[in-house]
Amino acid sequence: MKGKPGVVKKLRWRLETAAFLVFSFAVSLIPYRVGLWLGGMTGRLFFLLLKRRRKIAIDNIRASLPFLQGQPGWDPVHGTPETIARRVFENLGRCLVEDCRIYHGRGGRMIDTVRFEGLEHYEMALAKGKGVAFITAHCGNWDLMALSFGARHREISVVARRQDNAYLNRVLEKIRSGYGNRVIYKQGALRAMIGEFRKNNIVGVLVDQAVIPEDGILVEFLGRNCWATRLPVVLARKTGVPLIPVFGHREGETHVVQFFPEVQLGLEERQDTDSVDMARVFAPLEDYIVRYPDQWYWIHNRWKRAPQS
């Protein structure tokens, strides 16, 4: 049980939150096209300065390249691991600019121009009356993906980690709820998610983060073993909720959000079946990364702690 924060910590939290609000407001005032250009340049600068993250991204891409190059959708024009990694940082810089505009109510143009493809898969899943689990990942601008769907179609609940800074956490929660969405925090998330599905609501589930071995299952992802959460399989077994993969990518100044057919699971409660089912969950994400390798969050060490053959 964490104790109450002291005066010094509260003061630091307030200063951090104030700095975030001032910085993000200033960025939001930059004209959109200029902001995107500056965001890309900022990403390039971070690529040069953040040596550890740059190395993680390049190493991850290089180790996954044999798998990527062996898939039908791979295009050699994507270039070397270094080229792809640099573009990853550029995309993150542009996302930073876009998120600042959204946070301060200046994201209407972006939200209105998001293109949704494959909505029929979502609509068929929702018609079952068991809710919908959006299986997604850190792709494109994932904040914009969730907020635009909530603003233009139907509100969703997003599973997120509670920020250590309580004041900043309130600010971010207010921003997300301002577009119609709700936040489910990881502690106690399973019960809250099941409650949402019983109301035929939608919950977004990120599946591309590493978990500790005790909480996960070993699955092959992009040709290498990784520890993956069992959460999508557990939810489907307990509630019958359809799992609909959803990923976004950038096309110039606009964004495309793609919905894929429902993931069909075996649903037998066996350890070996868990691995097979999670491989089915990962398959659409792998296909996405093959087509848009510079839009995924390679700077996270997704394969840590997992034994490799």
305 within some domain? no
Q: Would you say residue 203 has pLDDT above 70?
A: yes
304 within some domain? no
* Average pLDDT rounded to a whole number, residues 120-141: 96
Expressed as residue numbers, the domain containing 230 is 7-295
* Average pLDDT rounded to a whole number, residues 22-29: 94
* Average pLDDT rounded to a whole number, residues 152-174: 84
The label of the residue with tokens 């270039």 reads: 79
| Amino acid identity, position 115 | R
* Average pLDDT rounded to a whole number, residues 12-33: 92
* Average pLDDT rounded to a whole number, residues 233-242: 92
pLDDT confidence band for 178 (50 / 70 / 90): confident
Q: What is the pLDDT of residue 269?
A: 58
Which stretch of 5-14, 83-92, 172-181, 230-239 has the lowest confidence by average pLDDT?
Answer: 172-181
Lay out the sheet containing 254-259: strands in order across: 115-117, 254-259, 243-251, 132-136, 202-206, 157-160, 182-185
Output Rg (C-alpha) for the chain, integer angstroms. Answer: 20
With 0-12 CB in 10 A as exposed, 13-18 as middle and 19+ as buried, what is 231?
buried
Which stretch of 4-18, 81-95, 208-222, 264-278 has the lowest confidence by average pLDDT?
Answer: 264-278
With 0-12 CB in 10 A as exposed, 13-18 as middle and 19+ as buried, what is 166?
middle
Q: What is the pLDDT of residue 132?
A: 97
190 within some domain? yes
Q: Which of 266, 296, 286 is nearest to 88 (CA)?
A: 296
- Cα-Cα-Cα-Cα torsion 183, 189, 190, 192, nearest 10 degrees, comes to -50
pLDDT digits 0-9 by tens, 66-99: 999 999 999 999 999 999 999 999 999 999 999 9
Look at strands 224-229 and 202-206 and give their pairing: unpaired
Share of the chain above pLDDT 90, in %: 70
133 within some domain? yes
307 within some domain? no
Q: What is the pLDDT of residue 267?
A: 59
301 within some domain? no
Higher pLDDT, 174 or 280: 280
- Note the Cα 184 to chain centre separation in Å: 15
Q: For 181-219, b where at least 16 C-beta lie within 10 A, e where not — what string?
A: bbbbeeeebeebbbebbeeebbbbbbbbebbeeeebbeb
Q: Would you say residue 49 has pLDDT above 60?
A: yes
User: Would you say 300 and 209 are in contact if contact means Cβ atoms under 8 Å apart?
Assistant: yes
* Average pLDDT rounded to a whole number, residues 246-259: 94
Q: Can you read off the two tokens belonging to residue 196?
A: 């949402």
* Average pLDDT rounded to a whole number, residues 16-36: 93
Residue 236 dihedral angles phi and psi, to the nearest 5°: -65, -40
Number of domains making up the chain? 1
105 within some domain? yes
69 within some domain? yes
